[in-house]
Amino acid sequence: MSTYREIEINGEDIIIKEVQNFDLKDIFDCGQAFRWNKTESGSYIGVAFDRVMEVKKRGNDVILYDCSMEEFNKTWREYFDIDRDYSEIIEKLRVDETLKMACEFGNGIRILQQDPFELTISFIISANNQIPRIKKSIERISERWGRKIYYKGNEYFTFPTIDELKEAEVQDLEQCGVGFRAKYIYETIQKVLIDKEILNTIKAFEDDECHKGLVEFKGIGPKVADCIMLFSMGKYSAFPVDVWVKRAMMHFYVAPDVTLPKIRKFGRDKFGNLAGFAQQYLFYYARENNIL
């Protein structure tokens, strides 16, 4: 289902009129992206797809600064999932009392569609890690191997391409603060160097096959695979079970001693092809409210 939205050009900027369920804090604080930061003016600046993007809300309008209609249609429309009607998803999920509460809390969430290679490396780093440190590691990797770009007089760095990372050694990666995950990142780089289309191939698979393909990488377990397929491969039956979702599920649905694979199966069976959305609402609700 897609809903028509009015898109306007205003000087150098794109204005998407009257967007519902689109809140910048919800989108960038729900743990799916690591390269966006809030500015003093209330906008968010991030690096994605080789450029710096600044986004701001004005009423219910979304402004994308310095962006042509062509670029918007080619890249950001899909990235911000503009054509999806989230009220329809919330309508279906809110029959469940817990989800009703979680959806109301995080009603501005959108699941971004990011670059599979960047997401794969980023979520390998995320394993048993915390967000400030994950962000720092990704910044260091970008500074070291990415391309320097400028926005409003400030320096930014693109996330490196596979070719830019081909010389990276385990030791170099360790210097970026990724710790024991360095060898997993190194092995993933080698694997992608051998077959540069491997992530696109995996992306084209059905959801379960996609998950199987991803967990074959060192450093990618069930949780990280679910994140990669949900945030960069459009696989919405994914149900990443991290510490917060586990807490939320144990709090609201299942017995305290249930294993992670069982929680994952429970979530996927319960929410079907909306599992990924349900997970995001639950995760955000649980973490922001510090539920036990």
Task: Tokens 């320097």: give the residue.
Answer: 148
Number of residues located near DNA, criterion CB under 7 A:
34
State in angstroms the smallest separation of the CB of 82 from DNA.
22
Which residue of 10, 41, 128, 171 would you call a contact of DNA, by CB under 7 A?
A: 128
The one-letter amino acid code at 134 reads I
Report the candidate in 156, 132, 135, 133 with the shortest Cα–Cα distance to residue 146. Answer: 156
Task: Tokens 């992306």: give the residue.
Answer: 203
Interaction of residue 240 with DNA, rule CB under 7 A? yes
Is position 235 annotated as part of the catalytic site?
no
Q: From the candidates 38, 56, 57, 223, give the one annotated as an active-site residue.
A: 223
The one-letter amino acid code at 251 reads H
Task: Tokens 């084209």: give the residue.
Answer: 204
Interaction of residue 234 with DNA, rule CB under 7 A? no
- Taking the CA atoms of 168, 169, 175 and 177 in sequence, report the sign of the dihedral they define: positive
* Of residues 103 and 127, the one with the C-beta less far from DNA: 127
Interaction of residue 114 with DNA, rule CB under 7 A? no
Bridge partners, residue 45, by sequence: 37, 54
Bridge partners, residue 58, by sequence: 61
Q: Which of residues 198-227 bind DNA (CB under 7 A)?
A: 215, 217-225, 227
Structure tokens at 76: 């950001």
Rounded CA gap, 67 and 7, in Å? Answer: 12
Interaction of residue 126 with DNA, rule CB under 7 A? yes
Which residue of 19, 24, 32, 110 would you call a contact of DNA, by CB under 7 A?
A: 32
Q: Which residues are catalytic?
A: 223
Sites of contact with DNA (CB under 7 A): 30-32, 126-133, 136, 177, 179-180, 184, 215, 217-225, 227, 240, 242-244, 259, 283, 290
